[in-house]
Amino acid sequence: MRKIGVLTSGGDSPGMNACIAGLVKKCYENGIEIVGVKNGYRGFLDKDYVKLDMNAIEGISKRGGTILRTARLPELKELSVQKQIAEEIKVQNMDAIVVLGGDGSLRGANDLSKLGINVIGIPCTIDNNVYGSEYTIGYDTAQNKTLQVINDIEDTADAMPGRVFLVETLGAEYGFLAYAAYQAGAADMFLVPEIPFEEEKICKNIKDILEKKKKYVIITICEGLGRTYEISKKIEKELGIHVRITIIGHQQRGGTPSAYERIQAVAFAEMAIDAVLKGTSNKIIVYRNGKHLMTDFFEVSMRKDLSTTNVTYR
């Protein structure tokens, strides 16, 4: 009987549990033993495992977070730690491991693959920053959370005109979430690390919007800029307008995953197990042009950002 391990690594994202459930179901249907590795890669060092069966996944698809828990392991960059984990995987007789995580976690998976470990990666991060994939598990739910917050803000913005609202999104140095709100028509402007901007132009745009279009202005700003309060003070000083800051924070990570998220998570999971059944290894499952595909790990080393999608500042 084949045996695989599955782990969730790095920042959690809505849909991880749905993906775990999809993996377990597919393994059950094909006679594959599947073991959960607790707390990401650290679980290999701590020998912390849990048997996954149909009972273990009952009702988990609707839950945010991850039943396996997650962690970051900076030491994974060290070759000695990589070798220790690779040896433990062999001791556990795992034919392959499936890694659910973002770009950093998938780079770690790539390092293990170079030591002879069969690895399949599934991109899971609200940041949507895995190169080669248009979508990562968790991104859709996080987008919806952003829109929900902005929709609520608009109620009070409309009730008391003349204010500016800065809404800070997660995403580290990647501005996909901030830009998505603009794309969806929920924000008047967006500020992200990938695209240069001038504070004077921001103030001019705000003035134009208030004079010609709306009674209030909503701007999304990516946390990675690290300048939310600085920009707020600049706007207040230049325009004499009250600026209200909303930091969404980790609310974007939690909560029930969207229907789209759950459907995608299962599709990723099924392709991952299909790869194991075919003897394919050292691949990442990606979503591109409406299809789930397998690509090589080398793409993980490349940076995916807004500047590569021909976005200009507005």
Query: Each residue of 118-147: pLDDT tens digit?
Result: 999 999 999 999 999 999 999 999 999 999
- The yes-or-no verdict on residue 311 having pLDDT over 70 is no
Going by the DSSP 8-state scheme, the letter that residue 282 receives in this structure is S
The dihedral through the CA atoms of 297, 298, 304, 309 has a sign that is negative
For residue range 5-15, list pLDDT tens digits in order: 999 999 999 99
For the domain spanning 140-252, the CATH number is: 3.40.50.460
Of 96, 112, 92, the residue nearest 49 (C-alpha): 92
**What is the topology classification, in CATH, of domain 3-138+257-304?**
Rossmann fold (3.40.50)
Where residue 314 falls among pLDDT bands split at 50, 70, 90? very low
Do domains 3-138+257-304 and 140-252 share one topology? The answer is yes
Contacts of 289 by beta carbon, 8 Å cutoff, 6+ apart = 134
Domain ranges of the chain: 3-138+257-304, 140-252
CB 39 within 8 A of CB 231: no
> What is the token pair recorded at 199?
């504070």
pLDDT of residue 309 exceeding 60, the answer is: no
Q: What is the pTM of this model?
A: 0.94
| Cα separation, 268 vs 261, whole angstroms | 10
DSSP conformation letters of 218-249:
EEEEEGGG--HHHHHHHHHHHH---EEEEE-G
- HSE value, Cβ hemisphere, 13 Å, CA-based, for 266: 14
pLDDT for 157-196, tens place per residue? Answer: 999 999 999 999 999 999 999 999 999 999 999 999 999 9
Residues with a known catalytic role: 127
Q: Give the sign of the dihedral formed by CA 266, CA 260, CA 304, CA 221.
A: negative
Kindly tell me if the per-residue pLDDT of 59 is higher than 80: yes
Tens of pLDDT, residues 85-105? 999 999 999 999 999 999 999
Q: Are strands 291-296 and 283-288 parallel, antiparallel or unpaired?
A: antiparallel
